[in-house]
Structure formats: structure tokens, C-alpha cells
Amino acid sequence: MIRYYLKYRCFKMSSNSDKWLRLCFEPKELQLKGTLNGGQSFRWKQIDSEWIGVFNSKLWRIKQYEHGIEFKVYTSNDDEPLVKKQKIIESSCSTDIESIKELRDYFQLDFNLREHYTQWCKADELFNSVANDFYGIRMLKQEVLENIFSFICSSNNHISRISSMVEKLAIFYGKEICSYNGSTYYAFPTIEALNQDGVETKLRDNGFGYRAKYIANTAKIIAEKGGNKWITALQAMPYKEAKSELMTLTGVGAKVADCICLMSLAHTSAIPVDTHVYQIARHYISDMPKQKTVTDKLYQRIGDHFRKLYGPSAGWAQTVLFCADLKKFQARD
């Protein structure tokens, strides 16, 4: 474990209780801004030079610098009554190595992104034209359950509203982690917490609309399938089987299933096709018909084109194009 810690040149910035930890890697292997606000995860916000967010039931503060990232991590204190949890509990030195491993896994830093960018630039002029500005866009390795419900919330929605809904789910049904800078942060709820009477009504009363029913029904289905045992089995399934299994959930169509396959199940060839990706695909497929909805046949054709163009990790490459297109779209608003 110590060899792993030193291998990646990770060290404490100071020995006091207000320390920042540093995780080092090659330049341009990770861009926090493009990765954390590109529509993958909805629990991150930027405050000045920091990104603050929740994953693995912990609160993380992360800052970018040229050769890596600096971070602090906070966890809950189960020994104190809930009403007294006002002071943040910071990660101790004994868990520094564990926290570094969690970050490496979350950002999938063992995936050599610069090497793949070089290949994708050679394969595609459009990718080459955006690669310099949209460098270091990585796929996050997210918790399956949170990803399922987050993308159910994404149906006919925009990022700020999706973020609000996901945060409400955590506040209503998640476990409190800590309070920091005037805000209280919560872990994403368990399937047991979401599978209880009154969830649909409460969510509908709080602005979830038709998604309230989708969330309540899906929580019930997952619980009936075995809960965490079903998630473990899902993680072991091949791509097509996992996608089909996900589509048995209420509110999970092909696009949402592919998001979950790509972002939580390590199926790097999954291509989620939405209106942005459809418009990007028109750049490549000259005879593609203009239509308001993407048929199953067209969905498959678009995905196959990107997989042929970029290879086994096409989902990563397509995400870079998605982020570039999303930036243009936001600039027009």
C-alpha cells in the first residue's frame, strides 16, 4: 500500500489539521472543469478556485494545479447526535492513502488519456479541432444507484434543475455527512430509503413532476430484484445484457441505460445518443434524415459510427465532443 502511495507521488501539503493533500499526474490528464460540469455527475459546484461535491458518502473539496489536484475530504461522525453535527470531521492521516485511491478510481486515472487523445485526433478532424480546449475530459466512475436515479431525473431537463433534484433526493432520504461553510451535505440515499411509502407524493410535491413516479417505481423494482445484490450482478454483466436489464426499470430508455453503462459499469463503448449527439452525428453521416426523435435504428447507427471511428473507448471520445457541443449550446442561451 505504501509503495502505491509513493508511486503516484502523492503527499500531504502540511502536518496540521487543515492540510491539503496532493495527487500528482501528468499535465492534461485531467481537467476538473470540463469533467465535473459536463453533465456526468450533478453533485459538484465550483466556488472560486475549488470544486465541492459528494461521492462515496464523503464531502470532497478539490483544486486543480498544473501537475495534479489538491484535495480535502470530510466524513460523518457517527458518534455524535445528529443535531450536534455542526463541525466538519476531516479525514485523518490514517485514511489519506485510502482517499487518494478513491480519487484515482473516481477519475479513472489509470486510463492513459493523452495517449487516447492522440489516437482520436488522428482518426477524426473534428475531434482534433476541439482537443486542445477540451483536454483532460475524463469519464467519472460513479456509484450505480446514484447514477440510475440521477439520469431518471435528467429526462427532458437541464443540468441546473437535474442538480437541484438530485440534491433534494439526498437531503430528503440520504444520511448527513457534515456541515461546511453554512451548508449541510448528505450522502445519496440507499435503495431502502427510496423504497418506502410516500416517496412519490413527496417528490411530486417538491417539483419532480412525472419523474416522481419513475423514481418510486424504479426503487421498488430494484428492491424486488434484490437491491445491492442486483447491482453487484449488474456490474458483472456484459454490455448488451446490462443495457437490457437497465431498461426494465421505469424511466430508463436506451439513452439513460447507455449513460449508466458508460459512467458506472465501465462499458467504454457505450454511446448515449441524445439531441446533442444526434446533431454531432450529422457532421459525419451525410445522409442522416432530419427528424425530431431518434428511432432505435438510427440510435444504433449513430453509436456504431462512433465505435468504428474511435474504437473500444468510443464512449470517452464522444464525451469530449459532447462537452464541446454543450459549451456552444450554453453560449447561445
Question: Which residues are identified as catalytic?
Answer: 255
- Indicate if the alpha-carbon torsion angle 103, 108, 109, 114 is positive or negative: negative
Do residues 315 and 269 lie in contact, with contact meaning Cβ atoms separated by under 8 Å? yes
Do residues 73 and 58 lie in contact, with contact meaning Cβ atoms separated by under 8 Å? yes
Q: Where are the beta strands (DSSP E) in 101-235?
A: 176-180, 183-186
Residue 246: all three cell numbers together: 437497465
**CA distance linking residue 3 with residue 9, whole number of Å:** 10
**Letter for the amino acid at 112?**
N
DSSP state of 244: H
Residue 43: all three cell numbers together: 453533485
Q: Are strands 50-55 and 89-90 parallel, antiparallel or unpaired?
A: unpaired
Contacts of 81 (CB under 8 A, 6+ apart): none
